[in-house]
Amino acid sequence: MSNLINLQTRLAQKSRELVAARNDGDEELVERLEDEIFDLEDEIEELQNEEYGDGSEKDW
C-alpha cells in the first residue's frame, strides 16, 4: 500500500510541475513531464490491479 501512496505522491508532484512548465511555455519540459505522468499512471494502475484485482475475476 505504501508503494501506491508513493506513486500517487510522485504523480501529484509531477502534475504540479507540469502546470508550472505549461505556464512558463517550456514545451520540452511539458513533453517530458507528460511522459513521466503517463508512466506513473500506468504503474499505479498495475499496482491497483495486483492489489485489488482487475474486476475480471469475481469472488462469488
Of 52, 28, 2, give the one whose Cα is nearest residue 36. Answer: 28
More confident residue, 56 or 49: 49
Cβ atoms of 7 and 47 closer than 8 Å: yes
Does pLDDT of 13 surpass 60?
A: yes
Instruction: Map grid coordinates 504503474 to a residue.
Output: 43
pTM above 0.85, yes or no: no
Other beta carbons less than 10 A from residue 34's beta carbon: 14
Number of domains, the chain: 1
Q: What is the pLDDT of residues 31-49, one digit of tens each?
A: 999 999 999 999 999 999 9
Residue 57 in any domain: the answer is no
Counting DSSP H helices and E strands in the chain, the numbers are: 2, 0
Residue 59 in domain: no
Look at residue 55 and tell me whether its pLDDT is greater than 90: no
Does the pLDDT value for residue 59 go beyond 90? no
Q: What is the pLDDT of residue 43?
A: 97
Instruction: Report yes or no on 32 lying in a domain.
Output: yes
Closest to 20 (Cα-Cα) out of 29, 7, 11, 8: 29
58 part of a folded domain: no
Instruction: Provide the residue range defining the domain that includes 29.
Output: 2-47
